[in-house]
A and B are shown apart, each in its own frame.
Chain A
Amino acid sequence: MSTVLEAKDLCKTYIVNKKQNNVLKNVNLKIEEGEMVAIMGPSGSGKSTLLYSISGMDRPTAGEVFFEGKQMDKLSDNELSDLRLKKMGFIFQQMYMMRNLSILDNVILPGIKAKQSGVSKKDIEERGRSLLRKFDVAQIADNDTSEASGGQLQRACIARSMINNPKIIFADEPTGALNRSASDEVMEELAKLNREDTTIMLVTHDVKVAAKCSRLLFIVDGNIKAEYNLGRYEANSNLRDRERSLSNWLMEQGW
């Protein structure tokens, strides 16, 4: 397994009302290819900030981030955009989509933008449709974004994140706005992707979600306090055991 993502002494500081707020303090981490890593921690501990800082969505205040060995914090805005477009996938809590595009067009948008020579728009459309089929939302492909349920939309967002065959998917509380059954469905899809060797890094508050990940990073006050290895969640894994052991570990950490 090779390292996909690595952060060294990562710091992120915000200045709010002339007060310095050190959200991330010298964070070090490595994400290996094929891992599914969950970041957990109390509110305000810096989970989302960590996700955005290492995914190139935001620039760290100090420290280094390496993606496939390339130092990301040295890249220009355009290079970062290209990296996000072609090598990364993103899923957000609020299932953001472009209001003026149909769901299918939203899914294939990054594909069309990143279009490689030799790949036709038709091929991209076909891939979009097959991804929607894969996540069981093909029936809403041509719908307006306001005409789908939250679970359907989030699955369409997963399809969008996959359109360019990314090296890694970043998900910020992907089930945060969903009910339990929709949340389970979405997590099953992400776990399935992970079993197909897609690297995933997600932020969650939910033990049930984290239990489907292979590793958990517990962050407190801008530092990774501890990490827990669960092993890959296979189709036949006992989810209840994983949840129980994870809960116990989290309680030990003061969760």
Chain B
Amino acid sequence: MSDPTRMTAAALADALASGDLSSEQITRAHLDRIQGVDEQVGAYLHVAGESALAEAREIDDRRAKGEDLHRLAGVPIAVKDVMTTTGMPTTAGSKMLEGWVPPYDATIVAKLKAAGLPILGKTNMDEFAMGSSTEHSAYGLTRNPWDLERIPGGSGGGSSAAVASWQAPLATGTDTGGSIRQPAALTGSVGVKPTYGGVSRYGMIAMASSLDQGGPCARTVLDTALLHEVMAGHDPLDSTSIDQPVPDVVGAAQRADVKGLRIGIVKELTGEGFSPLVQARFDESVQHLVDAGAEVVEVSCPNFVHALGAYYLIMPSEASSNLARFDAMRYGLRVSPDGIDAPSAEQVMAASRDAGFGDEVKRRIILGTYALSSGYYDAYYGSAQKVRRLIADDFAAAFGSADVLVSPTAPTTAFRFGDKTDDPMAMYRGDIATIPANLAGVPGMSLPSGLAEDGLPAGFQILAPAMADDRLYTVGAALEQRLVSAWGGHLLEQAPELAITKGA
């Protein structure tokens, strides 16, 4: 039997079903891998070895008794630290929540537990999911397994780096402007932002409520679909959750058929601003889809050029309000201001927020507070909402002539640490291709398209109409089949081997 950490979730599920592997073996192998390499990668903020093994043994017991189990039961998973977990700290990458153990599970986490997936631990992220590099975590860097001097993307750099460095077969993510898809692209893994409302947000610590969406991270399209199916579905605890059946994403991934499908290339998301080698991998991928029987059309979404501006008004506005609850009164960090005897509640709030929030978080709170202020609301938040409407209209028109839209996921491959920390605008521009989907609420996938300059992975993005998430998987799986056969194996097998520094 091969190393469980190198197997797909689907293969692990088969091995569990056939009795070739136990969940305890699989879980232990991943914990060993984490112990061996995570000191270099920094994907995890918290490793829950004991509870993961206990959950694994429980699944093994239930399987031995002949219980009817979920297909993924016993396959371990990593959870982004933005989702609340009982019995484990949940910090959202912020000092503000250091040591906070929530009294309730996020709906996603409850579903993972109900399906029997042992939770390996919590993954690193930009503080409150604000960033595209995971450099804004209060707890240190996560490194890109392809090049430890480079960022893994963000905000979900921890989850994507974990799956890309074989420290977990599956991980959860959240995507507000690209936080699942962009790290997937930069680490050579797969990630999906489902239709807004497709996955419950209950228990996901909110950045921007109207944009946030939880989704799956994995190494293959089928694994991503298997996890998507577990996470998705209507939740009465989330008013914005859609009360409709989950699209058949697993069936779609297995079908992998694009014959006669119309693939729309978004004019505004190619060419200028995209690195030539990223563009080259994109063009090859489109050709693969044509070879598989798809038809290519060019579509124009003229308002996408305004997407970044609208996003950076709506997101901070909602975030400034969502983050107001971190006031040191009921939970989290509490700091007394220097030199004040018997400070008032307001003084403690101010001192705690000053000490607990990082620069990027403060930047966005200030931006959002300003944009919502009376006298500025119409010009900023109001206009941004109008742009949002126009972008949704662009999508509707484009989906009139194409079944899915495609683009490179990010304009470039992973940059080096510190390259953009002093230039927030340059960092924000990296989200240009992913943001429109969040503004319109449509689903999107990123999967590897190959290696670009410096031997680093590039991502291919697929977008579909709302509640047609299954189309992402049909197209993604068809492309993946052809690319993997062209590469002679998964792209991640070309990644440099990490040294084992501890244990194992």
User: Do A and B interact with each other, yes or no?
Assistant: no
Residues of A with Cβ closer than 8 Å to B? Answer: none
